Structure 1
Amino acid sequence: GAAFWQTIAGEHGLDGSGHYTGSSDLQLERMNVYFNEASSKKYVPRAVLVDLEPAALDAVRAGPFGQLFRPDN
């Protein structure tokens, strides 16, 4: 799952914290397929399916795109 979001974020020009750093209007055109725009022009995944076991959650949070996910969801 984490590799999927890393790939999708890269294709849409998002950095590890969900901020747009791309240079193409095409990247922004379909952003809403996978991401919702939150405050401060930050994009968060529309859905994330993970194991609720604490070690799995910690692995996602500690990964390179851990800041991409909203902790309150």
Structure 2
Amino acid sequence: MVDPEEPTIGNAQVRELEERVRELERDLESMTRRTEFLQEALLKMAKNRIPSRPIVLSEDPSSVDNHFKGPELLKVKSKPRAP
């Protein structure tokens, strides 16, 4: 039974909402395919990855090498502390 106090919407609004749902379903399907593709690519890259050893650098900021290493700064060797 319909509640007489419940607001009603017209057929045009129903069609607009149905079209919006279809659009969102298409977007979700597209994003799901992209995610699956990227997951497969990551797995392939992980299988083909050549293990590398970490680069050890000093904390000396004047070191020219530190400027160019960027993401390769995997491990920083610290100076021993004075007693």
Structure with bigger RCO (C-alpha 8 Å, 6+ apart): 1
Tell me if TM exceeds 0.5. no
Q: Which has the higher helix share?
A: 2
Work out which of the two has the higher radius of gyration on C-alpha atoms and give 1 or 2: 2
TM-score bracket, shorter-length normalisation: under 0.3
